[in-house]
Structure 1
Amino acid sequence: MEKRQLGRTDIFLGPFSIGTSTLGNVYGEVKFETAQKLCHEIIKKDKYLFDTSPFYGILKSETVLGKCLQGIDRDKYYLSSKVGRYGLKEFDYSAKRIKESVNESLARLGVDYLDILILHDVEYVDPDIVLQEALPALQQVKESGKARYIGFSCEPLQVLKLIIEKSPIQLDVVISYPHYTLLDDSLSKLFPLLKEKGIGMINASPLVLGLLTTKSSPPSWHYMTKEKLFELKQLISTVEAEYKYPIEKAALQFPTEEPCVPTTLVGLKGLEEFEFLEQILKDPIPPHIFSSIKGKMLNNNITFRDPHYYELGNYSFVDEDTPKSLP
């Protein structure tokens, strides 16, 4: 399996990494026996990154993952977790809580250190707090040896760019979603900045939080309007009928072909889904067909969320590139 370096870190990852929000039952129940078998089989195959958070299932994802990893040598996997978000509207970016949260996560996961520590969903928190308190606290955690590399996660690309440019510390990693997918490849505009800063970019949500699949309905909390959802379903039906490939395969194959995307997080509910990822790498959609699928999916007016206006935390943007107010 081809591996790519994650920014300036010493971490080399395959095209897919393992998202474990599923172990928190965010997308339906996953029994412990299923989760344990999944994790053990993945680790037998290769050294993968497992990503979790205390927010996923309100501690459940970390707790279940920790039990699954018991007895497995620490050098057999990479581990990433997060701080700062603990509930749907519960955020605490204070330095004190960040340091406490890291210790709590290490205890739940049964490890002495994290390979990656992420400040979770910075767009919902005042940028002054992010820049002046939270990021410096992450740096202190890194210096303590409890996290090897640090960074943040963020959905709006405007905020992602802003925090990267204004960060008072050296960032190692960022997690971005869902802006390098079959519906939206706008993250590519930030590839030069990420390369310049030496930041490793972890792509996430290639299925756009459950939109690019016919196997289940999007979760009830999804942001897309009913009208746009209907439009998307029609597009998917047309593409699948014309090209004879499931939309899931095309969506998961898409980020693997971009050299600037070291890895993509994929949430898994069972071993069958992991085997599907392996099958994509062994037997991808042929280039001439895949090119046509990409053209049809990317050249549409379906957006995950309105790209022209965000009001999150203390950030406001009137369009894709121009901040209305800056910290």
Structure 2
Amino acid sequence: MHYRKLGNTGLDVSALSFGASSLGGVFRDIQKEEGIRTVHTAIDMGINLIDVSPYYGLTKAETVLGEALRSIPRNRYVLSTKAGRYGQDEFNFSRNRLIRSAEESMQRLGTDYLDILLLHDIEFGSLEQVLEEGIPALEQLKKSGKIRFFGVSGLPLSIFDVVLSRISLDVILSYCHYSLNDTTLLGLLPMLEQQGTGLINASPLSMGLLSNRDVPKWHPASEDIKAVCRRAAEYCRSNGADIAKLAVQYATANERISTTLVSTANPENIRNNILWTEEPIDERLLKEVLEILKPIDGATWPSGRAEWGGEQAQWNGGL
């Protein structure tokens, strides 16, 4: 496993990290024991950053993860969780709720401190509340020693411009913007590197667009985007390859991306993901797949409140 610096935090994190949303049954029903074995496999094979949230499975993911970590020495992993999102449409970035949320998460996770705490999907909250209550709450928690580092997460890249133009953050988490079909995250790197802000990249499979499984019905991408991604996946299959492998290799290869989160509750899947990062990428196949995906390169979907200046769909079809 390769390790990289996470901004100016001083943390060395694995190039591939573990997203624990699957432990909450977000993608399928899981047996707790299977989830625990997956966490242990990830850590034993070199992953040291684990990210979770009380939102995933409505606290189930944190609870299962806490049980899995009970037998693992605390210095073997970097623990990141979130606060502010608690249900599909339940957001609260007030100071008191965030501080209480951190305490609740620590209890479920079986720890007396968090390495990283992120405000979860801030584009759905009030800009004013996030800046005037949310960030100060994180600063208070850091000062008290309850958390070591803090930041924000969300889909639209514009939210990071809004926050970073006003305040310094230790870390941000961005998803679906550094993958085979969307590399717009690269445009944010100069600001992050200048400010020393650590970057966690998530969802190299674009929430299931880049896989051999059917895209989830809830996926917000347009039918045109889904169709092009299906075409790319089919091309990989016809060449005896798995587009998920190519996607994970592509996302983790960039040295400027500190770490990339993958989520699974299957020990064999996480083992395969880790082994993929250690294999050389098929450059010919990569070039051909990128060409297939080129018509939708950077295409995204709207997310959050208009006050954040969130991205709208950047591509309207017309293959």
TM over 0.5, shorter chain: yes
Q: How does 1:278-293 map to 2 (within 5 A)?
A: 278-293=274-289
1:236 is matched with which residue? 233
1:209 is matched with which residue? 207
2:154 is matched with which residue? 154
User: Do structure 1's residue 26 and structure 2's residue 26 form an aligned pair?
Assistant: yes
Give the superposition deviation at 1:302.
6.2
CA separation in 2, counterparts of 1:149 and 1:8?
A: 10
Give the secondary structure class of the aligned counterpart of 2:18: strand
Give the superposition deviation at 1:319.
7.1
Give the superposition deviation at 1:294.
3.0
1:181/1:103 Cα in 2 relative to 1: closer, same or farther (>3 Å)?
same
1:17 is matched with which residue? 17
1:265 is matched with which residue? 261
Q: For 1:223, which of 213, 220, 224 is the aligned residue?
A: 220
CA separation in 1, counterparts of 2:216 and 2:191?
A: 33
CA separation in 2, counterparts of 1:236 and 1:81?
A: 32
Kept after mapping to 1: 8 A contact 2:106/2:113: yes
CA separation in 2, counterparts of 1:174 and 1:98?
A: 17
User: Do structure 1's residue 180 and structure 2's residue 178 form an aligned pair?
Assistant: yes
Kept after mapping to 2: 8 A contact 1:24/1:59: yes
CA separation in 2, counterparts of 1:30 and 1:58?
A: 14
Give the superposition deviation at 1:133.
1.1
User: Do structure 1's residue 314 and structure 2's residue 307 form an aligned pair?
Assistant: yes
Give the superposition deviation at 1:71.
2.6
Give the secondary structure class of the aligned counterpart of 2:281: coil
Letter in 2 for 1:259: E
Give the secondary structure class of the aligned counterpart of 1:283: coil
Kept after mapping to 2: 8 A contact 1:80/1:115: yes
CA separation in 2, counterparts of 1:320 and 1:228?
A: 10
1:310/1:100 Cα in 2 relative to 1: closer, same or farther (>3 Å)?
closer
2:248 is matched with which residue? 252
CA separation in 2, counterparts of 1:318 and 1:3?
A: 32
Letter in 2 for 1:296: I
2:126 is matched with which residue? 126
1:319/1:137 Cα in 2 relative to 1: closer, same or farther (>3 Å)?
same
1:50/1:310 Cα in 2 relative to 1: closer, same or farther (>3 Å)?
closer
Give the superposition deviation at 1:40.
1.8
1:104 is matched with which residue? 104
2:189 is matched with which residue? 191
* CA RMSD, Structure 1 to Structure 2 (Å): 2.0
Q: For 1:300, which of 295, 300, 313 is the aligned residue?
A: 295
1:318/1:213 Cα in 2 relative to 1: closer, same or farther (>3 Å)?
closer
CA separation in 1, counterparts of 2:169 and 2:153?
A: 11
Give the secondary structure class of the aligned counterpart of 1:4: strand
Which runs of structure 1 show a deviation greater than 6 angstroms over 4 or more consecutive aligned residues? 318-321
Letter in 1 for 2:214: S
1:318/1:91 Cα in 2 relative to 1: closer, same or farther (>3 Å)?
closer
1:140/1:18 Cα in 2 relative to 1: closer, same or farther (>3 Å)?
same
Deviations 1:77-112 (A, max 9, x none): 111000100001101100000000000000000101
CA separation in 2, counterparts of 1:303 and 1:223?
A: 15
Gaps of 5+ in 1: 322-327
* Identity fraction in percent: 36
TM-score normalized with structure 2 length: 0.92
2:317 is matched with which residue? none
Letter in 2 for 1:95: R
CA separation in 1, counterparts of 2:125 and 2:208?
A: 25
Give the secondary structure class of the aligned counterpart of 1:314: helix
Kept after mapping to 1: 8 A contact 2:209/2:215: yes
Give the superposition deviation at 1:47.
5.1
Q: How many residue pairs align between the two structures?
A: 314
CA separation in 2, counterparts of 1:207 and 1:314?
A: 29
Give the secondary structure class of the aligned counterpart of 2:7: coil
> Which protein, 1 or 2, shows the higher relative CO under an 8 Å CA cutoff with sep ≥ 6?
2
Letter in 2 for 1:219: P
User: Do structure 1's residue 145 and structure 2's residue 145 form an aligned pair?
Assistant: yes
